[in-house]
Structure 1
Amino acid sequence: MASANTCWSVENFSCPICLDVFSSPVTTPCGHNFCRTCITKFWDEQVKFKCPVCNKIFDKRPDVHVNILLSELAAQFRTCVRVKDQPCVESAEVPCDVCTGTQLKAVKSCLVCLISYCQTHLEPHQRVVGLKKHRLVEPMDSLEDRMCKIHTRLLELFCQTEQVCVCQFCTETDHKSHPVVPLTEEYEAKRAKLGKIEIEVPQMIQERKLKIKEIRDTVEINKKDADREIADGGKVLTALICCVEKCRDDFNQTVKEKLKSTVKQAEDLIKELEQEIEDQGPYSQSILSYR
């Protein structure tokens, strides 16, 4: 039965009506299985009692009973699915690479096997002579990425010249003249630096936000000042225009009055001269007569 469990699928334990895993499965006279609640509700809504799968019609409403075997299998299947879906370890922990199905938390990682083991699967390394020679370290994820590709050794050091992780053998070859420090030391230094940055960045962001607000406030003040200057300038210019127009009208009026006076003087002079001409008319006639 244990080996058969691996072939189970949700279709084998699904009710044809609700399509979910059986709950209190019952079997109809035609041999099909349904949840008791589903088939009961189905028949309550039908005029004729028939099987939802094969449409076989029954003379009367069948008296169904729970299928004990199917109910137990469905319960086991539901449990298996629930266990399978549960995470075996916390997100910050390393899972065992050997566990199948539900993975347990690893307690050690082997730098020779490049595998992480839970307490159960670690037992051979504690018992077999050849495996006892393997180097075990605290659990690490992505072991292959932590190994030197050239020397197949753990990357335990950090080259400060090339800013890369190296193994002990690397310090004797390509990185022989380079300053190196333990990887943990470099990690702590970078973490401290990162912690400082994490503190400084929010402060910097806050300062930038305050500066932005200050600039925006200044712009708003400048806009209001500009609007006020435009309004004041408009008033001054309007008053100046009124003054110029008044001066123009006064000047025009003065010129017109002066012209009127000049015209009147000219007309009076003309009338006077005409009158003199008219007055000289008889005198001229008498002189002509004398001649």
Structure 2
Amino acid sequence: MSAASCLLTEDQFLCSICLDVFTDPVSIPCGHNFCKDCITEHWNINVQCRCPNCNKRYNKRPELQINTFISEMAAQFRQSAQQKTSRSSSEQQVVKPEVHQMIQKRRLKIEEIKASVQLSNKDADREIAEGVQVFTALKESVERGQAELIKTIEEKQRTTEKQAEDFIKDELSTDISLCPGTSPAVDSFLFLSYKGLFLILLCKMLSLLLIVANNLQ
């Protein structure tokens, strides 16, 4: 019987009226099989007795013959289907925890990646802030050094100018005192000459100081 069930398809175990596996299958004279309740109800609501499959007409309601072979095959088929359903349900119950565990692992991995990215962003922001602070301090230090250098050069320049002016005045006074009998015009000429030399010397010194200052910047 098991070998015979392998040769039958699923459709052969289905009632053509209810489209489900036979329950109490019976045969009618034309050879077609139906559930006993299905064919009985079908003929109860129809005036003429006809086969639902081949439409063969019967003058009077034929006697229903219990089909033991189909009944046994349908029972075996139903049992096999229930076993498959039970086995599939068990497999799903086994698979579900594994799938759930895999999903949880992936979620944890995603959370770890997000946390790592956030930490990396914080580190980058901190490094940028520290770098800006260092370069700002360095810039301010350079600017202060430049200002101090310019101030020192200007002070030296003023000191040099004062020393040169005092020196020229002293030398001019000495030269004039060593020349007795000089007229006021000569004295004025000598003073202007020394003053011109002083201005030339002063211009050269200023040019030299400016060149040095530009090179330092």
Given the two structures, how large is their TM-score scaled by the length of structure 1?
A: 0.37
* Structure (1/2) with the larger helix percentage: 2
Question: What TM-score do you get using the length of structure 2 for normalisation?
Answer: 0.47
Q: Say which one has the larger Rg.
A: 2
